A and B are shown apart, each in its own frame.
Chain A
């Protein structure tokens, strides 16, 4: 009966075109929304995910990585005192302004890391090495910031302002694909350089994160609970807990996730109803033919098959087109700085969602067939 479904679909070319455009547009919308959402969340958690640590100690009531407040560096001693902690390190985070060649200012996220251990270091380098920032006012920028900051030539000097105490930094390397959620460019620098600068502006001996790597076999959540008792003025999060917390903050607290979700949901519903609507119209138009099928001995199930195959064919064709469109636009979107994350699993999952929407709305037509009286086929 798949054969009849295909024949009927392709016989009505205009209807087929409208259906395909409808599903394709809706599938593109869903894919783009979800890819941007996942891309944004990927950026929001990139440093947590790429730092080799099991536990994160932060300021009290932290909401997300980007909003860390400074606290005393001495906390690291109590972290190191835990038997299960193999090693611990510090990462600094502060916001400054980068003076652009044209005189403008751009807010940047400054991350101070230990170039010897590499904790908090950029993980994907285009030019230079992470260790190059060691021992002075050296910085690494991400190549993706070039459209905003202007030409990023290695060896160029840039003025960075932090709490009205500007300093000059030399660009020694370029990272690749490392972006913050807030889209502020990230400036990677030596922990000691940023720490000294903070002391200079009135925050001596402060850090933003203490990260710990546990000994093999240690249970991260148990150690986190123990540390919480020792550090009542800090939050202690497991790596997964911190990722979840950051995602939850951007998704729920800001309403951003809801906005993405609603758009994606709406697009799914619209795509599904376009399919449902065209299948319904086609079913009504072919009601006499379906009645004839019943009269000559087709079972209801066989007729439902025709209707559901039309929905499946529509979903596959529309989604296929949408996939092609999204994949061909992916590169351009990435270059334009749009956070975008796609994976085969994502394509698969969203296809299932769209397919269910199409099948669900095709179901409305099934009722028409069930109650169709085959005697009606004798009418003139």
Chain B
């Protein structure tokens, strides 16, 4: 069976001439289902660039990307939103919740975007919030949630619509150690219990301890 996500020999070059930066240099990497992959590396080593390309948000300068066997790097710009909508869930360092929406509505929004009807969206949102232990906080706005609660909401949102792949960039960087640990635990649970392919960019030792596999970047190259 093909991996959930496969990047083949991808590179990302920013700028030209003097300003030319090779952010990602010929990286080949597979992300399997049921796996929590940790992407590590020093600052500026190309982690976010790599994750963005894996998430079909950033176009590689060269190389190929396959999602469940489909070559998405060949798709036009107009087709990429659909790929992101259906195959991918994202978790961000700064949570990126909608401030005008409650925790439940933040999840519903993604479902509505995926054309799930209103009543079903509500039910699914409550289900997902229950899974991250936020049933009682469902009606609160992000401003009234703690950092950990926000990230748990964001995690639930990433799972809305049941995408096979979840990508997270520094999901614990804005959290204290204890809450960070909970989030990492939830991410690992996604991989092991829900069968998701999970890639996390982090230099958090807590993630390191729980990761199934580690990809180490340096100057854009995969060194381990």
Residue from B52, B84, B109, B170 in contact with A375 in the complex, judged by beta carbons closer than 8 Å = B52
Stretch at the interface among A17-25, A219-227, A286-294: A286-294
User: Are A7 and B105 interface neighbours, CB within 8 A?
Assistant: yes
Residue from A288, A296, A302 in contact with B84 in the complex, judged by beta carbons closer than 8 Å = A296
Provided the pairs A295-B57, A297-B81 are in contact, do residues A378 and B100 lie with their beta carbons within 8 angstroms? Answer: no
A229 at the binding interface (Cβ < 8 Å): no
Q: Label chain A's interface by main secondary structure.
A: helix
Provided the pairs A288-B94, A288-B96 are in contact, do residues A378 and B169 lie with their beta carbons within 8 angstroms? Answer: yes
User: Are B99 and A286 interface neighbours, CB within 8 A?
Assistant: yes
Question: Which residues in chain A, 133-184, are within 8 Å of chain B measured between CB atoms?
Answer: none
Q: B91-103 CB contact bits vs A (8 Å, 1 = yes)?
A: 0111011111100
Residue from B83, B93, B110 in contact with A378 in the complex, judged by beta carbons closer than 8 Å = B93
Shortest CB distance A122–B (Å): 60
Q: B82, B84, B174 — which one has the most chain A CB atoms within 10 A of its CB?
A: B84
Question: With A and B bound together, what is the CA distance between A295 and B96 in angstroms?
Answer: 11
B86 partner residues in chain A, CB cutoff 8 A: 297
B55 partner residues in chain A, CB cutoff 8 A: 295
User: Are B92 and A4 interface neighbours, CB within 8 A?
Assistant: no
Provided the pairs A12-B100, A375-B57 are in contact, do residues A298 and B94 lie with their beta carbons within 8 angstroms? Answer: no
B113 at the binding interface (Cβ < 8 Å): yes
User: Are A299 and B57 interface neighbours, CB within 8 A?
Assistant: no
User: Are A380 and B173 interface neighbours, CB within 8 A?
Assistant: yes
Residue from B85, B90, B99, B109 in contact with A11 in the complex, judged by beta carbons closer than 8 Å = B99
Question: With A and B bound together, what is the CA distance between A12 and B141 in angstroms?
Answer: 13
Question: With A and B bound together, what is the CA distance between A327 and B51 in angstroms?
Answer: 59
Question: With A and B bound together, what is the CA distance between A377 and B83 in angstroms?
Answer: 18
Q: Name 16 extra pairs, CB < 8 A, besides A4-B101, A375-B57.
A: A4-B98, A7-B100, A11-B141, A292-B98, A294-B81, A295-B55, A296-B90, A297-B114, A298-B81, A298-B113, A375-B58, A378-B51, A378-B52, A378-B169, A380-B93, A380-B94
Closest 4 CB pairs of A and B: A297-B85, A11-B100, A297-B84, A292-B96
| 10 A-B interface contacts by CB (under 8 A) | A7-B98, A7-B105, A11-B99, A289-B96, A289-B97, A292-B92, A296-B90, A375-B57, A378-B93, A380-B173
